[in-house]
Structure 1
């Protein structure tokens, strides 16, 4: 038997990282969106890729001023905010573990543990390492895995 975990919102509190990167990226491109807009889009489904979600929300909420960012431009801005720069820490530094380490370790004694996430593999591995839970999970299915 195996327990499969989602990362964002299940293992990791992303309210100050991914969600904030969506809001700040949208604002950068002139779109005023809210946490409620993000929540509604996520609830509708098909919004697991936060770069694409941000792009879609920008285009749905942007005031027409003649400019329209590409998905590549949106992704670049999002990543600068999330990953950080040499002069600015990334929003990923704000992520915290939701379940207790003790609970995860107890479950891992009874079950094989895996992660299925829409995150890029590098972001998944970073979170597992920084939160000290990499040893608990035997497999991670990430964005690149389709």
Structure 2
């Protein structure tokens, strides 16, 4: 990918945007919470969405821990009374999501449907739209989908290990710096995500760098499409700063990008 003469920069979140994680990451959250509450509580997809809508639980390990804490609090216990080893929780979660084979991942990650094609990204290149990824997923997990599934041998990726958790926009700034070869041209930036934290990230970026045009593009994750939660989920993204909300990432083409920019 060339890193100059871009008309626009698009940075994608990965989970819920590039791949469907409803039966992987979110399943691992539910499994983990159920395990660490001794089988007494398994959160539903709606309950996980409600937690995510608070805008600060982008890290799924921390989200799992929080749901465990809240369950025990609902039973009258104080947090400081709850014996919960975070490292054990992370290890259990990873065993479900990544799998137990350290040589070859064989967990829920292997079942994730892709939500975009390599041809879509190639069309962005043809339209002089620069693109990269900023995700709260671990680098290993993100590279699994980008390299192994999509076949992207080289791409710009800022992962969990590279920046603070969203909605802190540091990782977004890092991705943009790489796209621009550290020579800022104030090209308009779109950040594409499926959570409130993603949209808060773009509004935080706008506050820090108001001289650049920032647009948040919400994408509805597959597990809410066609359900009674779809409208509510969409409204939460808009209220958090989304300029528009799409039901599939590939609808964000050059024509729509130009339209969104022109409407500002």
TM-score range, shorter chain: 0.7 to 0.9
CA contact (8 A) 1:2 1:113 kept: yes
CA contact (8 A) 2:98 2:107 kept: yes
1:48 Cα deviation from its structure 2 partner: 0.7
Q: Aligned partners of 2:20, 2:111: CA distance in 1, in Å?
A: 9
Q: Aligned partners of 2:112, 2:97: CA distance in 1, in Å?
A: 11
Alpha-carbon deviations, 1:73-132, whole Å to 9, x = none? 11110001111113x930100112112332222113322210010011111111112222
1:67 Cα deviation from its structure 2 partner: 5.7
How do 1:1-146 residues align onto structure 2 when only pairs under 5 Å count? 1-30=8-37, 31-62=41-72, 68-86=83-101, 89-109=106-126, 110-135=128-153, 138-146=155-163
Give the count of matched residue pairs: 144
1:39 Cα deviation from its structure 2 partner: 0.3
Q: Aligned partners of 2:150, 2:117: CA distance in 1, in Å?
A: 11
CA contact (8 A) 1:23 1:34 kept: yes
* Structure 1, gaps ≥5 residues long: none
Q: Aligned partners of 1:90, 1:51: CA distance in 2, in Å?
A: 16
User: Greater shift after overlay, 73-82 or 101-110?
Assistant: 101-110
CA RMSD in angstroms comes to 2.1
1:64 Cα deviation from its structure 2 partner: 7.2
3-state SS, counterpart of residue 112 of structure 1: strand
User: Greater shift after overlay, 88-97 or 75-84?
Assistant: 88-97
CA contact (8 A) 1:59 1:68 kept: no
1:133 Cα deviation from its structure 2 partner: 4.1
What's the TM-score once normalised by structure 2's chain length? 0.50
3-state SS, counterpart of residue 115 of structure 1: strand
* Structure 2, gaps ≥5 residues long: 1-7, 164-264
Q: Aligned partners of 2:138, 2:114: CA distance in 1, in Å?
A: 18
Q: Aligned partners of 2:110, 2:88: CA distance in 1, in Å?
A: 23
Q: Aligned partners of 1:89, 1:121: CA distance in 2, in Å?
A: 17
* Pair 43,133 (structure 1): closer, same or farther in 2 beyond 3 Å: farther
3-state SS, counterpart of residue 84 of structure 1: coil
What's the TM-score once normalised by structure 1's chain length? 0.88
Query: Highest Rg: 1 or 2?
Result: 2
